[in-house]
């Protein structure tokens, strides 16, 4: 029998044991331990929740304003943009990239003449008075050439939206957070009536064509605007005489939840993309040109 070097025999088993033991004990990535609840505070809070009493409930503020005003302005992009990204078209090529047509990332649309920034959403976070009833007029949200024709779309809760498909192929339209995910046959449409307010805009996608993407925002009071191709926006019939907090959003913004923070100290424009204004009756408040630096949109 050939002599086995005894040192190896002796050293190997402990090594093997170590490895095996470590395997048994488990060396996967550790789960991150979140904080434990404060038991005493939880018990006290539970008591206050079940007794129906709550400390520090603020009295409802009295609505004092009368009349209506409007807010207007124009977003302008400052800086340079990178190349527009070409989207990878992997399905229905005979329609979606017909005759070598290319589809581009639509998340940053500028007016070539003035650098006006389109597709900025601005809405009132909370209003106490609303002037107009919900319109029953149908809005149209269309898709053609495997693109959503409205990259950013706003509607009032309760207003019917005709989700159309102008392509010769089927799409399915999936509005995140609303559980609307519906087949839209070629050349057809279906009515979607949002029944719940979104906070920030939510994404709209098509599961058949994964590159398709748009955003939608639905507000109870309808005080929402999407900046037009030249970057301008107007929200009218706003309640005057009460502080209105506006939220501004852009798909490419690096701020939290897409909130667009601007350097506007006179409006106390926050990094979350919020500012507050109180309108006078019949006032048209013009914010003028609102410069959006390239850095705020990730270059």
Partner 1 sequence: MIITTRLSLLALLVLLPLASGCGPTPPASFRLNMVEAISPSAEKDSISAEQALTPAQEKQVATILAAMFGTPDTPTCLPETGLDPAKLVLAAGPVRSDIVGRKNGLYREHCVHCHGITGDGMGPTAAFLNPYPRDYRPGVFKFKSTERASKPTHADLYRVLHEGLAGSSMPSFALLSPVQIDALVEYVKYLSMRGETELALMRYYFELDEEDEGKLPETREFLVEEILEPIAEKWASAEDQEIEVPEMPEDLDLAASIAKGRELFHGDKANCVKCHGVTALGDGQANDYDDWSKNIYKIEEKLKTLADSEPDSEERQWIAEFERVLAGDALTPRTIPPRNLRQGIYRGGRRPLDLYYRIHAGINGAPMPAAKGTVAPEDIWHIVNYIRSLPYDFDGELGADRAVAAQPGPAGRLVATQED
Our finding on whether 1 is near partner 1 (CB under 8 A) is no
- Shortest distance in whole angstroms from residue 232 CB to partner 1: 24
Q: Which of 85, 98, 162, 188 binds partner 1 (CB under 8 A)?
A: 188
- Shortest distance in whole angstroms from residue 183 CB to partner 1: 5
Query: Could you count the other beta carbons within 10 Å of the beta carbon of residue 248?
Result: 27
Write the interaction track for partner 1 spanning residues 4-43; mark x where CB under 8 A is met and - where it is not: --x---x--xx--xx--xx--x---xxxxxxxxxxx-xxx
Q: Which residue, 168 or 281, is less far from partner 1 as judged by CB?
A: 168
Buried b (16+ CB within 10 A) or exposed e, 160-175: bbebbbbbebebebbb
Positions 115 through 134 that interact with partner 1 (CB under 8 A)? 125
Our finding on whether 193 is near partner 1 (CB under 8 A) is no
- Backbone φ and ψ of 94, nearest 5°: -65, -20
- Shortest distance in whole angstroms from residue 273 CB to partner 1: 11
Residues 6+ apart with CB under 8 A from 40: none
Write the interaction track for partner 1 spanning residues 270-299; mark x where CB under 8 A is met and - where it is not: xxx-------------------------x-
Piece in contact with partner 1 (CB under 8 A), picked from 73-81, 98-106, 174-182, 228-236: 174-182
Our finding on whether 53 is near partner 1 (CB under 8 A) is yes
- Whole-number Å distance between alpha carbons of 63 and 117: 35
- Whole-number Å distance between alpha carbons of 274 and 262: 9
Q: Which of 2, 4, 5, 54 binds partner 1 (CB under 8 A)?
A: 54
- Whole-number Å distance between alpha carbons of 263 and 178: 34
Piece in contact with partner 1 (CB under 8 A), picked from 63-71, 142-150, 202-210, 283-291: 202-210
Q: Which residue, 59 or 113, is less far from partner 1 as judged by CB?
A: 59
Composition of the chain by helix, strand, coil, percent to 5: 15, 30, 50
Our finding on whether 243 is near partner 1 (CB under 8 A) is no
Piece in contact with partner 1 (CB under 8 A), picked from 98-106, 108-116, 149-157, 255-263: 255-263
What are the CA-CA distances from residue 48 to residues 191, 216, 262 (Å)? 45, 39, 41
Piece in contact with partner 1 (CB under 8 A), picked from 98-106, 108-116, 148-156, 268-276: 268-276
Positions 76 through 95 that interact with partner 1 (CB under 8 A)? 90-91
Our finding on whether 255 is near partner 1 (CB under 8 A) is yes
Piece in contact with partner 1 (CB under 8 A), picked from 49-57, 130-138, 146-154, 233-241: 49-57
- Whole-number Å distance between alpha carbons of 37 and 215: 37
Cα torsion 235, 275, 243, 123 to 10°: value is 30
Query: Could you count the other beta carbons within 10 Å of the beta carbon of residue 285?
Result: 16
- Whole-number Å distance between alpha carbons of 257 and 270: 13
- Shortest distance in whole angstroms from residue 101 CB to partner 1: 20
- Whole-number Å distance between alpha carbons of 98 and 89: 11
Q: Which of 110, 134, 200, 267 binds partner 1 (CB under 8 A)?
A: 200
Cβ 225 vs Cβ 234: under 8 Å: yes
């Amino acid at each position: 029998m050939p002599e086995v070097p005894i040192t190896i025999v002796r050293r190997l088993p402990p090594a093997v044991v170590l490895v095996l033991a470590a395997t048994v004990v488990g060396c996967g990535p550790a789960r991150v331990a979140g904080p434990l609840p404060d038991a005493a505070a939880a018990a006290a809070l539970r008591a206050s929740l079940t007794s129906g009493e709550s400390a520090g409930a603020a009295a409802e503020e009295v609505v004092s304003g009368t009349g209506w005003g409007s807010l207007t302005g124009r977003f302008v992009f400052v800086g340079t943009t990178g190349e527009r990204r070409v989207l990878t078209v992997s399905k229905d090529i005979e329609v979606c990239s017909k005759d070598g047509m290319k589809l581009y990332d639509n998340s940053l649309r500028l007016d070539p003449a003035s650098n006006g920034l389109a597709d900025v959403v601005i809405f009132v976070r909370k209003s106490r008075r609303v002037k107009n009833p919900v319109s029953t007029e149908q809005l149209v949200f269309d898709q053609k050439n495997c693109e959503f024709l409205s990259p950013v779309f706003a509607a009032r809760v309760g207003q019917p939206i005709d989700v159309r498909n102008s392509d010769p192929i089927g799409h399915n339209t999936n509005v995140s957070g609303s559980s609307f995910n519906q087949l839209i046959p070629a050349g057809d449409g279906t009515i979607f009536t949002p029944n719940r307010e979104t906070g920030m805009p939510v994404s709209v996608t098509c599961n058949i064509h994964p590159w398709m993407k748009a955003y939608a925002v639905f507000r109870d009071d309808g005080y929402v605007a999407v900046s037009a191709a030249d970057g301008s926006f107007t929200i009218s019939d706003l309640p005057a005489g009460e502080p209105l907090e506006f939220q501004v959003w852009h798909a490419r913004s690096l701020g939290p939840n897409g909130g667009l923070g601007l350097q506007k100290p006179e409006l106390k424009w926050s990094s979350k993309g919020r500012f507050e204004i109180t309108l006078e009756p019949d006032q048209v408040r013009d914010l003028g040109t609102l410069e959006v630096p390239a850095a705020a949109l990730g270059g």
